[in-house]
């Protein structure tokens, strides 16, 4: 199935109960090739997409991890692929994942109190229930962003920069992150609007095409960015390759068991790296297909973002029909009642698009 090049309307994700569409989520998406050029867009007009900004949330953690990677910390501290993946993760707080963060802190002499991110219960239900049974309270290591924060602290340590107040706008960490985002997106991050993310650090606004363009750099095409007057060094590409390889080697640590991200990366064995974010944002890097894309659900529903991500992957040839079925819990989730009976589904009706 191949979609037409461009659409001036959003993708619709339908929530169907019985034979009736009960709800519809509208989704904007921008697809770019390995050079960073837009090959398809859905939703808003081209002029709107170029000017209207979103918060990319956790979908751009691979880009944020470049600060640690480019500090030389990997070699200096002999960081493992699990640690690199955790620096990009929105983990679910199971014992394996928090164990990596705890050991990392012990290795470098960090303390939990240095993490800006607050404590919350792990998203992994088994771990959460086990903690409740044992009367244990969650700590900052359980925060889904604790790996990202530890990675940022590691980069600061390697650069001999202060760890205190790394969430502040004028901190060297934030200055470096804004520089990296500007270099990869082609957008000016020096004065961009920003808000405080759930984990306590700034989340910088960007356009959906800018987000997709920045992600496409991870496709490692030497010709990336030429049409936009952008450049990427061989050193940066090498660091991106390290990130890609780490996530493919350790997919459990990017999200968690039974999650769309971890299961899809494991199933496709390097043909896809996906990363979700809050408020219906999702990112996909598809090396064999030579494309990357970014999606934003208008109403912020996460139940729609993974479904539309899978739909676009299949539409652009990055997922087979058999793989679609194997991942059906995420690609076309079934709605069940409390008795466990299937009463509906969440899906993208292919009939809404002209295909060829």
CATH number at residue 163: 3.40.710
- How would you write the pLDDT of the chain (356 residues) with one tens digit per residue? 345 444 568 999 999 999 999 999 999 999 999 999 999 999 988 888 889 999 999 999 999 999 999 999 999 999 999 999 999 999 999 999 999 999 999 999 999 999 999 999 999 999 999 999 999 999 999 999 999 999 999 999 999 999 999 999 999 999 999 999 999 999 999 989 999 999 999 999 999 999 999 999 999 999 999 999 999 999 999 999 999 999 999 999 999 999 999 999 999 998 999 999 999 999 999 999 999 999 999 999 999 999 999 999 999 989 988 999 999 999 999 999 999 999 999 999 977 655 43
Nearest to 72 by CA among 153, 155, 148: 155
Let me know if residue 328 belongs to a domain. Answer: yes
First to last CA, the chain: 7
Task: Give pLDDT, residue 47.
Answer: 84
Distance between CA atoms of 115 and 104, rounded to whole angstroms? 13
Nearest to 69 by CA among 166, 176, 170, 172: 176
Let me know if residue 251 belongs to a domain. Answer: yes
This prediction's pTM? 0.94
Task: Give pLDDT, residue 9.
Answer: 85
Spatial contact of 27 and 54, defined as CB atoms under 8 Å apart:
no
Let me know if residue 181 belongs to a domain. Answer: yes
Count structural domains, the chain. 1
What tokens were used for 151? 């990675």
Task: Give pLDDT, residue 353.
Answer: 59
Let me know if residue 315 belongs to a domain. Answer: yes
Let me know if residue 255 belongs to a domain. Answer: yes
Instruction: With residue 247 as reference, give the H or E element that holds it.
Output: helix 234-249
Spatial contact of 234 and 201, defined as CB atoms under 8 Å apart:
no
Q: What angle do helix axes 302-315 and 260-268 make, rounded to 10 degrees?
A: 20
* Other Cβ atoms within 10 Å of 31 Cβ, number: 26
Distance between CA atoms of 59 and 278, rounded to whole angstroms? 8
Spatial contact of 254 and 262, defined as CB atoms under 8 Å apart:
yes
Spatial contact of 353 and 4, defined as CB atoms under 8 Å apart:
yes
Range of the structural domain that residue 15 is part of: 11-352
Let me know if residue 174 belongs to a domain. Answer: yes
Task: Give pLDDT, residue 89.
Answer: 98
Let me know if residue 1 belongs to a domain. Answer: no
Distance between CA atoms of 292 and 311, rounded to whole angstroms? 14
Task: Give pLDDT, residue 352.
Answer: 63
Let me know if residue 69 belongs to a domain. Answer: yes
Spatial contact of 186 and 228, defined as CB atoms under 8 Å apart:
yes
């Amino acid at each position: 199935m191949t979609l037409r090049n461009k659409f001036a309307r959003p993708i619709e994700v339908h929530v169907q109960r019985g034979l009736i569409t009960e709800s519809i989520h509208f989704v904007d998406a921008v697809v770019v090739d390995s050079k960073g050029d837009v090959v398809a867009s859905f939703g808003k007009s081209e002029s709107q997409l170029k000017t209207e900004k979103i918060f990319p949330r956790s979908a751009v953690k691979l880009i944020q991890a470049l600060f640690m990677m480019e500090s030389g910390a990997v070699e200096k501290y002999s960081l493992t692929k699990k640690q690199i993946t955790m620096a990009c993760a929105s983990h679910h707080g199971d014992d394996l994942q928090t164990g990596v963060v705890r050991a990392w802190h012990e290795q470098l002499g960090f303390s939990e109190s240095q993490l800006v991110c607050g404590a919350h219960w792990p998203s992994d239900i088994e771990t959460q229930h086990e903690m409740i049974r044992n009367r244990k309270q969650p700590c900052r290591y359980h925060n889904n962003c604790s790996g990202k924060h530890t990675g940022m602290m590691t980069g600061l340590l390697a650069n001999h920069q202060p760890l205190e107040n790394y969430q502040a706008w004028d901190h060297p960490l934030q200055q470096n992150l804004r520089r990296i985002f500007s270099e990869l997106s082609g957008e000016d991050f020096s004065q961009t609007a920003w808000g405080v993310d759930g984990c306590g650090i700034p989340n910088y606004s960007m356009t959906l095409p800018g987000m997709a363009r920045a992600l496409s750099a991870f496709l490692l095409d030497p010709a990336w960015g030429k049409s936009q007057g952008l450049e990427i060094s061989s050193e940066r590409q090498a660091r991106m390759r390290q990130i890609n390889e780490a996530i493919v080697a350790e997919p459990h640590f990017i999200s968690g068991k039974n999650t769309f991200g971890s299961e899809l990366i494991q199933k496709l064995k390097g043909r896809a790296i996906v990363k979700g974010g809050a408020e219906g944002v999702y990112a996909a890097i598809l090396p064999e297909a030579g494309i990357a894309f970014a999606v934003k659900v208008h109403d912020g529903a996460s139940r729609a973002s993974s479904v539309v991500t899978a739909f676009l992957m299949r539409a652009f040839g990055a997922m087979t029909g058999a793989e679609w079925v194997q991942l059906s819990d995420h690609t076309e989730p079934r709605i069940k009642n409390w008795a466990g009976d299937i009463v509906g589904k969440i899906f993208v009706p292919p009939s809404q698009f002209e295909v060829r």
